[in-house]
Amino acid sequence: MGRVESLNGRVLAFVDLFVESMLIDDVVRELKALDKVLQVYEVTGEFDVVTLIGADNIEDLRDILKNRILKIRGIKSTVSSIVLKIDKAEPLNPE
């Protein structure tokens, strides 16, 4: 199995969230407070919120999902995609 691309030694994963609509603001606020959550987006389409997570390793990612993200009130379920390779990544302008 090949090496997983990382950012500063971390495993990257996109975590797509299904959120109870009345609690999106609360969920976003709690996600933004988590140090392993690198980016948070409210989106249209199938999911309500998309996050980019930076974990130390796969076990750390599991812990973040199980013990931090899935315990946030209002999150119904998640779909995770681990980044295998970064082909292009433009720096985002800070707000």
Q: Tens of pLDDT along 43-81?
A: 999 999 999 999 999 999 999 999 999 999 999 999 999
What distance in Å separates the CA atoms of residue 48 and residue 24, rounded to the nearest whole number?
8
What's the chain's average pLDDT? 89
Pairing of strands 10-19, 49-55: antiparallel
40 has pLDDT over 50? yes
Type of residue found at 55? A
Evaluate if residue 91 carries a pLDDT over 70: yes
Structural domains in the chain, CATH included, are 12-51+65-82 (3.30.70.920)
Cβ contact 49:42 at 8 Å: yes
Query: Quick one: CA dihedral 15, 18, 20, 25, positive or negative?
Result: positive
Asked if pLDDT for residue 1 goes beyond 70, the answer is no
* pTM to 2 decimal places: 0.85
Q: Which of 58, 23, 53, 21 is nearest to 39 (CA)?
A: 53
